[in-house]
A = this chain, B = another copy of it.
């Protein structure tokens, strides 16, 4: 496995690989790998010739009051995990190399962002699409892999690829969970002990909401209330939002009659956790993004 630390070398390496007719599978990350990341890398390995994963804690996608400094980092462990997962290249650029000057060109998003996490994280997804545009041009992947836990991010990347015609296939893989159902996240390590014990109720609550739809419920408000109440009753967390929206358009709906996302974010003292389910009007978990 190769470790590349400069934009220039990564871009030239990718160009050479493409000239050799290799397909490139790309897993963008902020590091501190858990099984969710590993699953993406392993899937990419089966799917493409060369797997590249990037580790870059992107300052642009953190708000001024957010956890950029506190975001967990462990480069040595990450490198070990990536190697075990069959990754061919780990790209670890530094911030100065990624953002050598004040950007003249910026990416803006006018839709899919004023809901869910976008509402409480203004500018977050702008930072995400900006860094991804750069990484897509540097790594020039054939396919790129995301976990469904970041479903809003996937909806935004889907728009980025479609609107700007990136020649890249977006693959969204199922959320990887702990045995008790908690979605794997780099931030889980920051939960206090009692919070860690309560946190599985987030997934349980979403599943209870989905069950209402399986049982015939079409009213999004009733489903959302079920999730809100369940999380509220079983955890000490402060609910940021529970929303049910069309997917991937992320528009409010009054009747559940298409593919939807049921999503929540909960503030604990140690970390803010997110989770979601994508399902159709019958409550069946979605197989595809659209």
Q: Which residue of B lies closest to A130 (CB)?
A: B164
Given the interface contacts A21-B19, A104-B159, A159-B104, does A165 sit within 8 Å of B109 by beta carbon? no
- Which residues of B sit under 8 angstroms from A15, Cβ to Cβ? 167
Assess whether A219 is interfacial by the CB under 8 Å rule. no
- A6, chain B: closest CB distance, angstroms: 12
Residue A163 interfacial (CB < 8 Å)? yes
User: What residues of B have a CB within 8 angstroms of the CB of A133 in the complex?
Assistant: 164
A159 to B100, CA, bound (A): 12
- The interface size of chain A toward B, counting residues with CB under 8 Å, comes to 32
Does residue A11 face the partner (Cβ distance < 8 Å to B)?
yes
A285, CB-defined interface residue at 8 Å: no
Q: How far is the CA of A95 from the CA of B105 in the complex (A)?
A: 24
Quick check: B163 and A105 within 8 Å, CB to CB?
A: yes
Q: Tell me which of A80-88, A134-142, A176-184, A200-208 binds B.
A: A134-142
Q: In the assembled complex, which residues on chain B have CB atoms less than 8 Å from the CB atom of A110? A: 103-104, 106
- Top 4 closest pairs, chain A to chain B, by CB: A104-B159, A137-B165, A105-B163, A104-B111
A interface residue numbers (CB < 8 A to B)? 7, 11, 14-15, 18-19, 21, 102-112, 129, 133-134, 137-138, 140, 156, 159-160, 163-167
